[in-house]
Structures are given as C-alpha cells and as structure tokens.
Structure 1
Amino acid sequence: MTIEFTGRRTTVTSQLKAQVEAGMERISRVTRRCTGAHVILTEDKYRHIAEILVKCRGEELVARCESTAMEVALHHALQTVERQAIRNKQRFETVRQHPKPLPAAAA
C-alpha cells in the first residue's frame, strides 16, 4: 500500500509516519483490498487536524479528526477509518451470506 503524506504548516516527523504505517497495517489486515492512502496533517494555532483518505477497491474511507496534539488527532482518525473498514467488511459479508431469494416465477 502506498501512503502519501502532506504537511500543511507543519512538518511530518518520522514518529508520525511510523504511527500511520502501524495503523494502516491494521486496516489492511481487515480489508485486504486497499491500494493507497493519503494523510494530510494541518496545524492552525492551537488546533492539530489529521485527515486520512484510504482508497480501496469500490470504496473510499475518510476520517478527519481535530485535537490539541497531533498524535492524538492522528490516533483518533486511524481508529475512525478502522471502524469504517470493519463496518464495510461486515456489511459485505452479510450480503454474501444471505443472498436474495429467487422470485417464484423463475424457480
């Protein structure tokens, strides 16, 4: 999976990159279909904003979180994307396990 980093009015440190790579590892284990991610880190006065866009086949997972510390904002954004991935996986498994019944005329 390719991960792109963008820092707006801030620098992207190696610690933040390591945190993102660990989070993306968890997300890729859940979906197994993700091709890339874009992480945007923004700093405005006292606010630190982390945006994550994960591109998977057929869907896009997006999270935007804000906090007073960049690590906390990034952690919450990664958790949000992971919850979205789990929810989508469960939804598709349910559709596959319970197919629609055939109409009476076709049977």
Structure 2
Amino acid sequence: MKLTVTGRKLEITEAIEQHLQKKMEKTIKDLGESADVHVALSVEKHRHFAEITVKTKGFTLHSEDETDDLYTAMDGALLKMEKQLRKTKSRLKTIKIKKSVAQKTKLPT
C-alpha cells in the first residue's frame, strides 16, 4: 500500500501520518500492495476536512468527511471508506460466483 498525505493550510505531523497508517493498514489489508491511497486534509476557519481516495486494479473509491476535529474527520472518512470497500468486495464475490456457475452449467456442443 502506498500512502500519500497532503495538507492544505495544515502542516502534516508525524502523529497524523502514524494515525492514518495504522488505521489504513486495518482497512485496506485485503487489497495488497497494489493499492494507492491519497489522503487530503484541510482546514477552513473552524472546520476540518478529510478526503480519502483509494485506487487499485479495477476500481477507485472516494470518501470524505467534515467535522470540528481533525482526527474525528479522518476517522469518519475511514468509516465511509470501510463501508465502500465491504460493498465493493461483496459485489466482486457475487460476480465471481455468477461466472463460476455459468461456466459449470455450460452444455458441451
């Protein structure tokens, strides 16, 4: 997994990077090394924004969250990303099952 963290009007500290690395390893462990993860963090007045984009073979996922606290915004965006990943994995499993059933039921010519 390749993790890139960008800060807009915000300095990215070592603690922020470690927090994201720890959480993302749990979330994206099934995607393997081919996943590119980009996290953009920004501050506008008293609002903190977190955007996460995951690119891997076959699909791209995007989630974002906005709160008063930076860590809460990161965790909220990660939760949304986890839901999207579960939904995508389920969809891929369904497609694989349908393909395998179709191959087994082919009639010989």
Normalised by the length of structure 1, the TM-score is 0.86
Q: Secondary structure at the match of 1:32?
A: helix
More helix by share: 2
Three-state SS of the structure 2 residue aligned to 1:98 is: helix
Match of 1:68 in 2: 68
Counterpart residue number, 1:39 = 39
Stretch moving more, 5-14 or 91-100: 91-100
The 5 Å alignment of 1:71-90 reads 71-90=71-90
Structure 1 unaligned regions, length at least 5: none
Equivalent residues, number:
107
Matched residue, 1:8: 8
Native 8 Å contact 2:2 2:33 kept in 1? no
Task: Describe the superposition over 1:35-77 as per-residue Cα deviations: whole angstroms up to 9, x where unpaired.
Answer: 2111100000110000111111111110110000000000000
2: CA distance, partners of 1:3 / 1:29? 13
Distance 1:93 1:38 in 2: 26
Contact 1:50 1:74 in 2 (8 A): yes
**Structure 2: runs of 5+ lacking an equivalent:** none
Question: Are the structure 2 counterparts of residues 83 and 33 from structure 1 closer, same or farther at C-alpha, using a change threshold of 3 Å?
Answer: farther
Identity %: 27
Letter in structure 2 aligned against 1:58: G
Higher RCO (C-alpha under 8 Å, 6+ residues apart): 1
User: Cα offset for 1:31?
Assistant: 3.0
Partner secondary structure for residue 10 of structure 2:
coil
**Could you tell me how far apart the structure 1 residues matched to 2:33 and 2:88 are?**
12
- The alignment's C-alpha RMSD in Å is 2.2
Q: TM-score, normalised by structure 2?
A: 0.85
Aligned mates of 1:62, 1:2 — CA distance in 2? 16
Moved segments of 4+, more than 6 Å: 104-107
